[in-house]
Chains A and B, each alone.
Chain A
Amino acid sequence: MKTTPLLLGAAVLFWGWHTDLLPFAATIALLLEGSRLVAWRWNVAAGDFRRVADGCALVFLALAVYLYSANQTTRAILTVIQWLPLVTLPLVALQVYSMSDTIPLNTVFLSLRRKAAPTPPRPWRTINLAYPYLVLCLAAAGAANVRGARFYLGFCLLLAWALWPARSPRDSALVWGGSLALVVLVGYAGHVGLHDLQRHVGDRFVAWFTPSPIGEADAARTRTAIGEIGALKLSDRIVLRVEPGRGSPPLLLREASYTVYASSTWWAARAAFESVRPERDGTTWALTDDVASREAATISAYLRDGRGFLALPTGTTRIESLPVTTMERSPLGAVRVDGGPRLVAYRVRAGPASSLDAPPGPADLAVPPAEASAVARVAGELDLASKSPADMLDTVAEFFRQRFTYSTYASLNAGDREPGATALGDFLLRSRSGHCEYFAAATVLLLRAAGIPARYATGYSVQEFSRLEKAYVVRDRHAHAWALVYHDGAWRDFDTTPPGWVNAEQAAASIWEPVADAWSRAAFLFTRWRARERTGGVPDGLAWVLIPLLILLGWRLYAKKRVARLKTTAAPRVLITPGADSEWYRIARRLEDLGMPRQPGETQSRWVARLDGAGERPLSTESLRPILDLHDRYRFDPAGVSDAEKEVLKSGVHAWLERHQSA
């Protein structure tokens, strides 16, 4: 079966439209439909088809492994599906540019390849990949999950387009269109109903199994793992890349800070966001007046759906090269952006101390009642009240460094914890072992008890230099929490977690980490390249190598193994069928109505001869002969018939129909 012209191109564009890969889609569509314009074809052997199919399968596997290692979520499956039209393109393009319209079936089925060759050898059954590819494009477009009518509408239009050439000639186009419309409507009702059902079941499920609402990670509050039992494990995924500016890189990158602690959750009170206006170029954002700031770092981060919180060093004054549409900041130093690309790489200028955060208030000195007794006990032990603020900080840092150990594993034997003690209190008084959240929370409360304003900050710690990236990489497991203290008239980072914590986390790293890193690097480069393409930047040196290589490859393919395609006439010559308006067809219809249909491949005269004396009411076909002869002349004689003869035919048919109507 020949592929309907332009159908594949349209399907690919539809895919590109939904998955936001329109430039790719346009190229693919041009490539696939362009085959109709070129006058050559490759002479592709079955082995070549198999090799290309194997290549596609390898690319598919690599993509699946990468996406899973990069995301580790079920989202990866949807992304793999979205990229399928690109992965399978080589095979389809090869078929389109090969001499045959189909490829052997065993190319795409390993099970068939293993089967022994038949004796005597006969050609494999073949398959036209265009239609499976069409289905693939539609599925990939669907995986983009664009809500709204445009997907279903386009889907139905493409299906109708594909089915139109294969419709049965028995029924009129109207019947065909009507039944198609019915199917479309039923399909619409069906999927809307299914969606509602799923939502309903989902809601009920959530209501049954999750009694309390799940806290969303946001700047208003953060749930800590304080008091949770078991190992705390974060992934090795690289989330940030930090290229230091002049001097050493910032040690801590803060995303948000919080003031109020209650039952393992930190809350940000009085933290309404206010928007920041960009400077004239639209990508530079001045947060405070530029006082004695220096270039601190260039930070590359992914924004999910174009929005998220920026990780910034304390003391940030200015952010450059950040193409987002809106930026908001909170008085607690969180900076939220929206409407940006997937990957941003922004330059940060920072001063010595933070000026983003609001000056301390009463909330920054509050110790929650539940923790007050434990905190007061430790403060008393350390004799904080009698010391100066600088000594206090030293004492607290020394206290945690000397007497505490880092651990991501919290065990709890029954009776271990003193009755009535909170998880934090237990950490301070008894276990003296925990992860950064314990240290940060305990430090904040201890300092507050001693009268120093403090806040709880979350973000990332920068410490791993990657030779592969030539930059500092920040992984998920480098997520960190520390205290902010108000000292000497400014907010400063104060990290009391024992320095060994990085090594402890490192020890828990997966052995696959180097592989995942390499993938991550490739994906980062690709995304950055795409971003630069979009903003019209100069492509990497890599592109200058790749382009000539691609041209060379294209030329080698073009020059090799081609055979000229026979010139087919551009449009199939329209056969003129004279006599298509012959009155005879009325008799033919009448005969069919009488239950005597023509057999396939039977000519009119044989049909009439067969009917002679047949049927329920024997029918004299003798009178039909002269009419049929005239019809034959009208239809098949290139000389045609005169108008008078046409009249004779017409009247003969009328007379016959009259006779057989009354009969």
Chain B
Amino acid sequence: MIPVSQVSPQEIVRSVTRNIERVMHGQSAAVRMVLVALAGGGHVLLEDYPGTGKTTLAKALARSIGAKFTRIQFTPDLLPSDILGVSIFDQRDQAFRFHEGPIFTNILLADEINRASPRTQSALLEAMGEGQVSLDGALRRLDELFFVIATQNPVEFRGTYPLPEAQMDRFAMQLGLGYVAPHDEVGILSAQEKSHPIDGLTACASMDDVLSLRRRVGDVRISEELKRYIVDLVGATRSASGVQLGASPRASLSLMKAAQALALFDGREFVTPDQIQELAVPVIAHRMVLDPQARFSGVTARGIVEDVIKAVQVPI
């Protein structure tokens, strides 16, 4: 039985947002999306150039929630056992003892995930998809709150392994942070004159708050018509020109969950097309595989999703 938090969902979101924005200047849209993913039960992939604050955002979120937080720095020599854990023979007990890896946590920061080989990246598949780890023939369940926030550099950068499509599909959203406005950048400099403000960040929400947030998300109503709209949007990416692999039904599911969460943040009890449209790009775009031909001619996944939004008739 999960204790029910008495704090309203909007209140929780507002306080966590305020807490994060003490260190993240000018990134309120990205913060909002990350929280939507957290509440919707999905994982987030932050992709952007080095130094744009990906790790800071992830750390700030982890610290703002009083939950167990671990961090894995992905390197080319990382092995699956470094993530999942390993059984070691105990001389005294004459038995194998399992040492849990960093994946047994609530919030996992997978930093620079595309620096590890696909073999190691794949160790996350089962955990992210099903919240469990099969190891040494035993099934180990992860905590109810298991949230992966991964960062990566753009795929074309040196020394990176692109994530396999199956791994990409496990992330509910992919976000970019982008460079902030000059006055926000000045604000970052000012804040770090003496020390990094993240060191002074304390938790402002408990794990129970987050779990209750997630349960409230499930209470947000969504009509048949809008479910159909989601399916139509996702389906349209499969037949769009220049697309080799369209978005999966998992994309539809993620889009619905995220839309429910966003509606909750907006103080609504039901989903409207606005939420679906707002989330379509971060939820769908990264799952598509484009034609090399199309990619070279400047077509982006984001552009395709935006075209699809324009093309599919929106319920009004």
Q: Tell me if B270 and A636 are in contact (CB < 8 A).
A: yes
Q: Tell me if B314 and A602 are in contact (CB < 8 A).
A: yes
Q: Tell me if A122 and B291 are in contact (CB < 8 A).
A: yes
Q: Tell me if B292 and A120 are in contact (CB < 8 A).
A: yes
- Considering only residues 111-158 of chain B, those with a C-beta below 8 Å from chain A are none
- Considering only residues 569-628 of chain A, those with a C-beta below 8 Å from chain B are 575-578, 588, 598-606
Q: Tell me if B312 and A603 are in contact (CB < 8 A).
A: no
Task: Tell me if A633 counts as interface (CB < 8 A to partner B).
Answer: yes
Inside 8 A of A550's CB, which chain B residues have their CB? none
Neighbour of A577 across the interface among B274, B311, B315, CB < 8 A: B315
Inside 8 A of A604's CB, which chain B residues have their CB? 316
Known: A576-B224, A636-B315. A606 touches B310 (CB 8 A): no
Contact flags (1/0) for B198-222 with A, using CB distance below 8 Å? 0000000000000000000000011
- Say how far B71's CB is from chain A's closest CB, in angstroms: 39
Interface residues of B (CB under 8 A from A): 221-226, 228, 269-274, 277, 291-293, 309-316
A604 to B274, CA, bound (A): 8
Neighbour of B272 across the interface among A122, A598, A603, CB < 8 A: A603
Residue of B223, B270, B314 with most partner-chain A CB within 10 A: B223
Task: Tell me if A637 counts as interface (CB < 8 A to partner B).
Answer: yes
Q: Tell me if B270 and A637 are in contact (CB < 8 A).
A: yes
Contact flags (1/0) for A515-527 with B, using CB distance below 8 Å? 0000000000000
Q: A636-B226, A639-B270 are in contact. List 6 more A-B contacts (CB 8 A).
A: A603-B273, A605-B272, A635-B316, A636-B222, A636-B273, A639-B221
Task: Tell me if A638 counts as interface (CB < 8 A to partner B).
Answer: yes
Lowest 6 CB-CB distances: which A-B pairs, in order?
Answer: A601-B310, A637-B270, A603-B273, A638-B221, A601-B309, A638-B223
Task: Tell me if A632 counts as interface (CB < 8 A to partner B).
Answer: yes
Known: A601-B309, A601-B310, A603-B277. A632 touches B221 (CB 8 A): no
A63 to B314, CA, bound (A): 53
Cβ-closest chain B residue relative to A598: B316
A604 to B273, CA, bound (A): 9
Contact flags (1/0) for A107-131 with B, using CB distance below 8 Å? 0000000000000101000000000
A605 to B12, CA, bound (A): 26
List 18 interface pairs A-B (beta carbons < 8 Å), by A numbering: A120-B292, A120-B293, A575-B224, A577-B225, A578-B223, A588-B316, A601-B277, A601-B309, A601-B310, A603-B277, A603-B316, A633-B270, A635-B315, A637-B223, A637-B270, A638-B222, A638-B224, A639-B269
Inside 8 A of A600's CB, which chain B residues have their CB? 310-311
A400 to B30, CA, bound (A): 115
A575 to B228, CA, bound (A): 9
Inside 8 A of A636's CB, which chain B residues have their CB? 222-223, 225-226, 270-273, 315
Inside 8 A of B274's CB, which chain A residues have their CB? 603, 605-606
- Say how far A120's CB is from chain B's closest CB, in angstroms: 6
- Say how far A126's CB is from chain B's closest CB, in angstroms: 12
A606 to B313, CA, bound (A): 15
Q: Tell me if A637 and B269 are in contact (CB < 8 A).
A: yes
Cβ-closest chain A residue relative to B222: A638
| Residues of A in contact with B, size category | 20 to 34
Inside 8 A of A637's CB, which chain B residues have their CB? 221, 223, 269-270
A633 to B316, CA, bound (A): 12
Residue of B269, B291, B316 with most partner-chain A CB within 10 A: B316
A632 to B316, CA, bound (A): 8
Neighbour of B270 across the interface among A576, A588, A599, A638, CB < 8 A: A638
- Considering only residues 401-424 of chain A, those with a C-beta below 8 Å from chain B are none
Inside 8 A of A120's CB, which chain B residues have their CB? 292-293
Q: Tell me if B293 and A122 are in contact (CB < 8 A).
A: yes
- Say how far A191's CB is from chain B's closest CB, in angstroms: 39
A29 to B228, CA, bound (A): 35
Neighbour of B314 across the interface among A575, A601, A632, A633, CB < 8 A: A601
- Say how far B264's CB is from chain A's closest CB, in angstroms: 14
Known: A588-B316, A604-B316. A632 touches B293 (CB 8 A): no
Inside 8 A of A635's CB, which chain B residues have their CB? 223, 315-316
A604 to B312, CA, bound (A): 15
A426 to B207, CA, bound (A): 126
- Say how far B208's CB is from chain A's closest CB, in angstroms: 27
Neighbour of A601 across the interface among B228, B271, B312, CB < 8 A: B312
A577 to B225, CA, bound (A): 7
Cβ-closest chain A residue relative to B226: A636
- Say how far B295's CB is from chain A's closest CB, in angstroms: 12
Cβ-closest chain A residue relative to B269: A637
Q: Tell me if B228 and A603 are in contact (CB < 8 A).
A: no
Inside 8 A of A603's CB, which chain B residues have their CB? 272-274, 277, 314, 316
A605 to B226, CA, bound (A): 16
Inside 8 A of A602's CB, which chain B residues have their CB? 314
Cβ-closest chain B residue relative to A639: B221
Inside 8 A of B225's CB, which chain A residues have their CB? 575-577, 636
- Say how far A651's CB is from chain B's closest CB, in angstroms: 21
A588 to B314, CA, bound (A): 15
A291 to B225, CA, bound (A): 90
Cβ-closest chain A residue relative to B307: A601
Inside 8 A of B311's CB, which chain A residues have their CB? 600-601
A637 to B312, CA, bound (A): 21
Residue of B221, B292, B314 with most partner-chain A CB within 10 A: B314
Inside 8 A of B312's CB, which chain A residues have their CB? 601
- Say how far B185's CB is from chain A's closest CB, in angstroms: 29
A206 to B277, CA, bound (A): 73
- Say how far A588's CB is from chain B's closest CB, in angstroms: 7
Inside 8 A of B271's CB, which chain A residues have their CB? 636
- Say how far A636's CB is from chain B's closest CB, in angstroms: 5
Cβ-closest chain B residue relative to A628: B272
A604 to B316, CA, bound (A): 6
Inside 8 A of B272's CB, which chain A residues have their CB? 603, 605, 632, 636
A391 to B128, CA, bound (A): 120
- Say how far A165's CB is from chain B's closest CB, in angstroms: 16
A577 to B228, CA, bound (A): 11
Cβ-closest chain B residue relative to A585: B316
Cβ-closest chain B residue relative to A578: B223
A638 to B227, CA, bound (A): 12
- Say how far B111's CB is from chain A's closest CB, in angstroms: 36
A606 to B272, CA, bound (A): 12
A421 to B113, CA, bound (A): 114
Residue of A576, A598, A635, A636 with most partner-chain B CB within 10 A: A636
Cβ-closest chain A residue relative to B228: A575
Inside 8 A of A632's CB, which chain B residues have their CB? 270, 272
Cβ-closest chain A residue relative to B273: A603
- Say how far A415's CB is from chain B's closest CB, in angstroms: 83
- Say how far B244's CB is from chain A's closest CB, in angstroms: 10
Inside 8 A of B310's CB, which chain A residues have their CB? 599-601
Inside 8 A of A606's CB, which chain B residues have their CB? 274, 277
Contact flags (1/0) for A86-113 with B, using CB distance below 8 Å? 0000000000000000000000000000
Cβ-closest chain B residue relative to A119: B293
A606 to B274, CA, bound (A): 8
A601 to B316, CA, bound (A): 10
Cβ-closest chain B residue relative to A601: B310
